[in-house]
Structure 1
Amino acid sequence: GFRLATRTRVEGAGVDIADSSSIGGYGRVMFDGTLSRGFGRFAAAVTGAAGTGVGTVTPQRLFYMGGLHSVRGQLARPVAVPGEPRVGDTFWLGRGEVGRGWPMFRTVAFYDVGWAGERADFASPGRPMSGAGFGVSLLDATVRADVSKGIWPDKGWRFDMYLGGRF
């Protein structure tokens, strides 16, 4: 049958800057959900995620798109690049995966799309980042290796090997 896994994360911090007269802070909230289903030797999963920050979000707590845990095939960058949806106080992400095989050994194809930027641009973000690829999962996703290609803005190839994949 279908399986739905969700997570909600909330964080915040207050800052009292002793050498100035300002007191500030920030808050962040993030939601994600994955709907998955097995079909014999096939399995499919769709993931959606979104989050936003309020207050003065520090550079360390901004949302960064690109890389293994967001848009595979894209590089995460430490600073915003004009015209590219990489960094901001708000984000959204969509991922799709289809796998074939058995839990001990499975081949997987995937497509990711995501955006990060200013909250004011959330409803009309322009072109989002995207990437696609294929991978191999071993031991019920305990070990996974992916080859991904950036579609936009980066068009390069990446190889990632990691523990704990979706399937």
Structure 2
Amino acid sequence: IGPNCPGVASAGKSKVGIIPNVVFRPGPVGVISRSGTLTYEIVNGISEHGLGETTCIGLGGDPVNGTSFVDALPLLESDPETRLIVMVGEIGGAAEEDAADYIRHHVSKPVIGYIAGRSAPPGKRMGHAGAIVLRGKGTAESKQAALESAGVQVARFPYEIPDLVAARLARNSA
């Protein structure tokens, strides 16, 4: 998948990498994330909410990676068991903006998003090599605006995601 990634897991089936098994439970939610630790927190919240996951793809937060959101989104879009996609991004780079464009034209399933790094000062390196924001590009605000323009509901905080997922799944089932 690429450097600094936690791996891939399909709940109740298999995993490759360091993603902890204990946070997963089989269910209808596909997860794609640049952040390892936030992946575990969000997946755990979805599982504790009684929902569960089909597949979780950890992309890693480095600027050069092996798999991007645009590479991973078609996998979850074509998976008949995945009813909703959660996308966890970070500041820096343009991966989320590229994903928004892809979602707008190619994804029919609902997508819930989250962008980490909202309070990071512009131009400052923040832990990951990929978390560099320059000239208004790669900011949490620019990523959120791009995703929302593609129809993605963007959570302000990670703890909101399980409730947003549950509400969207319930609305789509009605």
Give the TM-score normalised by the residue count of structure 2: 0.29
Which structure exhibits the higher relative contact order, with contacts defined as CA atoms closer than 8 Å and separated by 6 or more residues?
2
Structure that is richer in strand per residue:
1
